[in-house]
Structure 1
C-alpha cells in the first residue's frame, strides 16, 4: 500500500514538473513577442512582423502617409493647369489606429493560443481608412469658375443716319464645375501606387441669345405711330420725354416679352420725373410721371400695327384727349402694365424719340413681314349722356362759393378692330378689344358756411 502511494506521488510530481516546464517553455517562446507585432501581420501590403509599436508607426507612416501627401490633383484647361496637393485636402490614413490594432493582434489570447499563433502564424491583413476634406477642392473649383466663366455679350443694334449699326455678340464660357468635382472625387481613392490625378476640365461655350446674325434680319420698318403733346406743360412734357427715351433701342427677340413698367421703371423724382396731371378713376389728380400714359398708348398703337398682340392692356376709366376711344393703354406702377410678346419669327427693334413735342414709335423687323399692313378702326356702339347736375350743400365751403367735385362724363361702349390689308384689300377684320368708359353725372358742391 505504501509503495503504491509513493508511486502515485512520484507520478504527480513528474506531471507537475512537466507542466511547469511546458508552461515555462511556452512563456519563454511568447515573452519576446510581448513588445513586438506578431508574425505575418500586415497593414495593407506592408509586413510589420516583429516590429515594435514605434517602429511600425514609423514604417507605415513613411510608406503611406508621406507618400500620399506628395500626390496632386492636376486640372487642365486650355489656358492653364490648376494643381491641388493632397496635403491641402488634409488627406490622411488612420495610421495610429491601424498600427495599434496590428500590435494588439493576438495579445489578448491565452498563453497556449499565443504560442500557437506565433509558431504557426496565419496572415492577418489590416486595412487602413483613407479620409480627406473636400473644402480645398471646392474652393479651387470656385476660383476656377471666377477665372473661366464669362457671360456672353449680346449683340446690339442702333440707328444712325437712317441706317442700322450692329455691334457683334461675344461668346461666353462656363466651367462644368459639378461634373468636374464629381470626376475628381471618383478618382481620389488613396491608392499610393497610382500616379497623380490628371483631368481635363470641360468648359462649355455659351452663345449669346442676341447674335449679330439674328439682328441682321432687322431691316424694315413695319409700323409707326406718333402722338402730339404740344399743349402739355413742363412737368408732363418732361415725363413724356423721359419715358420715351427709356424705351428707345429696345430689342425683343422671338418669344420674348416686353413690359412697359419693367422697361421704364418706377417714376420717381430721383429719375427726373415731375408731378403732372394724371387720371385716377374718373377724376384728375397730380402725381409723379403724369402723362406717360400717352407714351404707353402710342407704343400700343405702333405694336398693334406691326401685327403683335398685347398680353396685358388696360383702357382708361375716362376718355383720353390724345387718342380716339378704344385705342388707349393706361399704365400705373405696381398695378397696371402694358405687355406684349414678340410672336414674329424675327427680332423686333423699337425706335422712340420726341421732336417738337411729338413722340414717335417706329417698330422694325424683317422685310418679309412687310407684305401686309394693319389699321385700327373703332366702333362706338353706345353713348349715354349724363343726367342732370347734382348739387350738394357743403358746410365746409363759404356761402356763395362752389366746387366741382365731378365733371360730367358720357358713358361710352366701343369695339376696336384690326384690319389686315394686303394689296389694297382688307383681308381680315379682327376684334381686339371691347371697352366701356364710365358714365358720371356732374357733381357740384355749394358752400353753406356762414362767414363771421
Structure 2
C-alpha cells in the first residue's frame, strides 16, 4: 500500500514533466512562428552585400535607391579604331555604360527564397552568419555602336573587280582582276567588347584602347588566271540573211550586241531570253515577220530565232550541255530541219550550261549577209571536230483547205495560210578526229507537223455595166 509521501513525490514528478512538456511546446511553437516570420519577411535577408554595399533588411525599393546612390559610373572610356593610318574615336554615347540595378536587387532579394522550408532557413542562417557578397560590373549597350562601325566600314569596303576579256578579229585582250575588301564588323565589335569588359572589371588598368579594324580580302569571282585558259576558237557557226530586210537586219544587230562578249564560267548556265531581255521597241527592236499561229505575221523582234538557231549550232559543236531547246512550227530557210531553235517571250527559251573545266566566251556579230557566232575556250584535243547531221526519215504532205469568201471577187483566191510539208527528222552528232569520222551519236528526233494550207476563194459576183447603143 502506497504511502502518502510516495504519492506526493509521484505527483511532483508529474508536475515537472508537464512543465517541461509545456516549455517544449512553447519553444517549438515559438520556433515555428519565428521561422514563419523570418520566411515571410519582404526584405533582403541579413548579410547580403552587393559590391560591398550592405543591403540587409532593405526592401527591394530601398535597395534599389541605395545602390543608385552608392554605385558611381566609371569615367570616360577612349576607344580608337584605326585603319590604314586613319583613326576613328568612338563617341562616348555609343557605349552607354550602366549598371543593371534591377538584376542586382532581384539577385539579392532571392537569396533564401528558393528551395524547401529547411533549405531556405539554412541559407538565411548561413548568410546571416557568414555573409553573402555579390559582385557586379557595368555593362555596355552596343546597339548604337554597331551602326557606327558599319558607317566606318562603308569607307573601307571595296567590291572586287572581275577580270575581263574581249575578243575581236581573233585577238584576245585581258584585264587583271582586282581583289575587294570588307571590314570585319563582327570582329571589330568583339574586340571593342573585350577591351571595354577588361576596363570595367579592372583587368585593364588604363581606360584607353587602340584597336586595328580587321579587314578581310575578297577575291574576284572571275580571275585573270581563269580567263587565260581561253586560247582557242572551239566552234563557229553562221547563217545567211537578207540585208534588204532592214527591220529584220536591225533586230539581228541588236541581238548580236546583247550576246557578244558574254562569258560562261564553268558550272554557269546561259539563257538567251534573259540575255536578250524583252523584245520591245524601247530596247531597239523593230517589227519584222515571225511565226504566229503557223503563219508569218509582223511582230516586234522578228528574226531573233535566227540568233537562237545560230548560237544553238555553235553550242552543239562546242560540245556544251543543252538544257532547253525548241524547234519551229515548220522548217526555216536558213538551216536544215532538225537543227533550228526558236524562242518566244518567256515561254520558249534556249538554255545551255558550261559543264567543262574552262570558261566559254561568245563572240556574235554580223558580216555582210551572215550572222556569225564564235565560241572561244580551251581545246585539249585540236584534232577533234564536231559536225551536226540531220536525216529526214518521214515526210508528211499537207492538204489545202478552201474557204468560200463573199468579200472576194469571184474567180480570185487569197492565201490565208501557206501550206508546209511536215517532217520527222533524226539529228546526230558527228565526231571527227584528224578529219576522220570516229563516232556518230544520235541526239534527238524532231517532228514538224504538216501545216495545211488555207485558201480563201472569192464568191462575190461582179456587176457588169452595159453601155447603151448610140
Please give the TM-score of this superposition, normalised by the length of structure 1: 0.76
Is the contact made by 1:400 and 1:447 (CA closer than 8 Å) also made in structure 2?
Answer: yes
CA distance in 2, matches of 1:304, 1:97: 72
Partner residue of 2:220?
Answer: 208
2:332 to 299, 320, 330: 320
SS at match of 1:213: helix
**In the alignment, which of 232, 235, 238 is matched to residue 250 of structure 2?**
238
Structure 1: how far apart are the matches of 2:68 and 2:420? 99
Q: What's the counterpart of residue 443 of structure 2?
A: 432
Partner of 2:51: 44
Counterpart in the other structure of 2:264: 252
- Aligned partners of 2:155 and 2:366: how far apart in 1? 44
Query: Does the residue aligned with 1:327 lie in a helix, a strand or coil?
Result: coil
Equivalent position SS for 2:158 = coil
2:352 to 340, 356, 367: 340
Tell me, which stretches of 5 or more residues in structure 1 are unaligned? 1-37, 106-116
Whole-Å separation in 1 of the counterparts to 2:141 and 2:412: 85
1:212-261, Cα deviation, whole Å (9 max, x unpaired): 11111211112211111125511101000110121111111111111111
CA distance 1:250–1:99, shift in 2 (3 Å): closer
Deviation, structure 1 residue 293: 0.8
1:71–1:85 Cα contact (<8 Å) kept: no
SS state at 2:71 partner: helix
Question: Which residue of 178, 189, 192 maps to 1:170?
Answer: 178
Distance 1:184 1:432, change over 3 A: farther
Distance 1:122 1:244 in 2: 89
Distance 1:428 1:183, change over 3 A: farther
The TM-score normalised by the length of structure 2 is 0.73
Matches within 5 A, 1:219-234: 219-230=231-242, 232-234=244-246
- Give the gaps of 5 or more residues in structure 2: 1-44, 57-61, 112-124, 464-470
Residue deviations 1:387-408, cap 9 Å, x none?
Answer: 3x21122356565554322211
Q: 2:154 aligned to 134, 141, 146, which one? A: 146
Alignment of 1:236-315 (within 5 A): 236-315=248-327
- Whether 1:418 and 2:429 are equivalent positions in the alignment is yes
Q: Answer yes or no: is the 8 Å Cα contact 1:222–1:369 preserved in 2.
A: no
Change (3 A) 1:47 1:95: same
1:154 offset after TM fit, Å?
Answer: 0.9
Change (3 A) 1:170 1:127: same
For 1:83 and 1:182, the matched residues in 2 are separated by: 16
SS of aligned partner of 1:368: coil
* Gap change, CA 1:184 and 1:426, over 3 Å in 2: farther
Distance 1:232 1:349, change over 3 A: same
Aligned residues: 394
CA offsets per residue over residues 86-106 of structure 1, 9 Å max, x none?
A: 53233311459969999xx9x
Match of 2:26 in 1: none
The equivalent residue for 2:142 is: 134
Q: Give the root-mean-square deviation of aligned CA atoms.
A: 3.6
1:79/1:219 CA distance change after superposition, 3 Å: farther
Shift of 1:205: 1.7
User: For residues 369 and 75 of structure 1, what CA distance do their matches in structure 2 show?
Assistant: 56
CA contact (8 A) 2:94 2:142 kept: no
Among candidates 380, 388, 393, match of residue 368 of structure 1: 380
Specify the alignment match of 1:20 in structure 2: none
Who is 2:163 aligned against? Answer: 155
1:95–1:128 CA contact under 8 A, matched in 2: no
Q: Give yes or no for the alignment of 1:441 onto 2:447.
A: no
Q: Distance in 1 between matches of 2:334 and 2:430?
A: 22
- Encode CA deviations 1:181-229: one digit per residue, 9 max, x unaligned: 4665577658342435665554322211211111112111122111111
Distance 1:57 1:310 in 2: 74
Task: Check 1:95–1:87 CA distance in 2 against 1; reply closer, same or farther (3 A cut).
Answer: farther
SS in 1 for 2:456: strand
Other-structure match for 1:359 = 371
2:114 corresponds in structure 1 to none
How many angstroms does 1:420 deviate by? Answer: 0.8
The question of whether the paired residues in 2 share the 8 Å contact of 1:281 and 1:318 is answered with no
Deviations 1:298-323 (A, max 9, x none): 11111211222311111101110111
Deviation at 1:325, TM superposition (A): 0.7
1:88 corresponds to which residue?
94
In the TM superposition, residue 262 of structure 1 has moved relative to its aligned partner by: 1.5
In structure 2, the CA distance between the partners of 1:391 and 1:44, relative to structure 1 (3 Å rule), is same
